[in-house]
């Protein structure tokens, strides 16, 4: 059994500037617009979808992540916005207990407004203090300065540069944030 405190119902997180909530069918058009941005998709390591029809299996993958207790992917919704502008997620490591990988994408029209940093901070805080994670990590492309800056602002520290391999031919950088020593799981 997972030592994580994963709730039965999908957790909604709220702060003044934005809400992190469960993804639903209404998020598919925003997902398609975002995922069709080839440069952003490349930076996030995601494939560019051929049609919006792929939104249905995309949504099902996000739902199944939570159902199988393999992770949580939230829709990022700024206060007052009728639609989501991106997603942020924690994917639990299948090999190491209480470790999760952070992933985040914000749609280009909303870049540089602080939404990504706030959403990442909320997800990380929830992961450490509510779920009971010991570590949140992220691997980003060396050539992705916005992502590196976001991770640093969200409290993650650069651990090491990962040289290219056959499986990952680009230089990546590993970031991580560890549970503070004084806070028990």
Stretch that binds ligand COA, among 4-12, 36-44, 89-97, 124-132 (CB under 6 A): 36-44
Work out the end-to-end distance of the chain between its first and last CA atoms, rounded to an integer number of angstroms: 15
Q: If binding is defined by CB under 6 A, does position 109 make contact with ligand COA? A: no
- The first and second tokens of residue 155, run together, are 């409290």
Candidates 137, 85, 81; CA nearest to 116 is: 85
**What is the Cα–Cα distance from 40 to 185, expressed in whole angstroms?**
35
Q: If binding is defined by CB under 6 A, does position 29 make contact with ligand COA? A: no
Q: Binder to ligand COA among 90, 106, 133, 173 (CB under 6 A)?
A: 106
| 79, β-bridge pairs | none
**C-beta closer to ligand COA: residue 47 or 114:** 114
Q: If binding is defined by CB under 6 A, does position 149 make contact with ligand COA? A: yes
**What is the Cα–Cα distance from 161 to 181, expressed in whole angstroms?**
25
Residue 131 DSSP code: I
Q: Binder to ligand COA among 145, 159, 161, 168 (CB under 6 A)?
A: 145
Task: Name the packing angle between helices 28-35 and 55-67 (round to 10°).
Answer: 110
Site track 37-56 with ligand COA (rule: CB under 6 A), x = hit = ---x--xx------------
Q: If binding is defined by CB under 6 A, does position 111 make contact with ligand COA? A: yes
Q: Binder to ligand COA among 18, 138, 176, 177 (CB under 6 A)?
A: 138
Asked if residues 140 and 150 have their Cβ atoms less than 8 Å apart, the reply is: no
| Site residues, ligand COA (CB under 6 A) | 40, 43-44, 103-106, 111-117, 138, 140, 144-147, 149-150
């Amino acid at each position: 059994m997972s030592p994580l405190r994963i709730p039965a119902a999908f957790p909604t997180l709220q702060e003044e500037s934005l809400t992190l909530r469960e993804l639903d069918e209404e998020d598919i058009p925003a997902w398609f617009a975002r995922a069709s941005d080839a440069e952003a998709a490349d930076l996030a390591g995601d494939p560019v979808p051929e049609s919006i029809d792929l939104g249905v299996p995309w949504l099902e993958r996000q739902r199944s992540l939570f159902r199988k207790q393999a992770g949580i992917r939230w829709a990022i919704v700024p206060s007052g916005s009728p639609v989501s502008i991106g997603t942020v997620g924690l994917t639990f490591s299948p090999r190491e207990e209480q470790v999760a990988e952070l992933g985040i994408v914000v749609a280009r029209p909303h870049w540089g407004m602080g939404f990504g940093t706030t959403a990442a901070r909320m997800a990380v805080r929830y992961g450490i203090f509510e779920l009971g994670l010991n570590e949140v990590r992220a691997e980003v492309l060396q050539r992705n300065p916005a992502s590196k800056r976001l991770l640093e602002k969200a409290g993650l520290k650069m651990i090491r540069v990962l040289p290219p391999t056959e499986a990952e031919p680009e230089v990546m950088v590993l970031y991580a944030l560890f549970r503070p020593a004084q806070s028990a799981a």
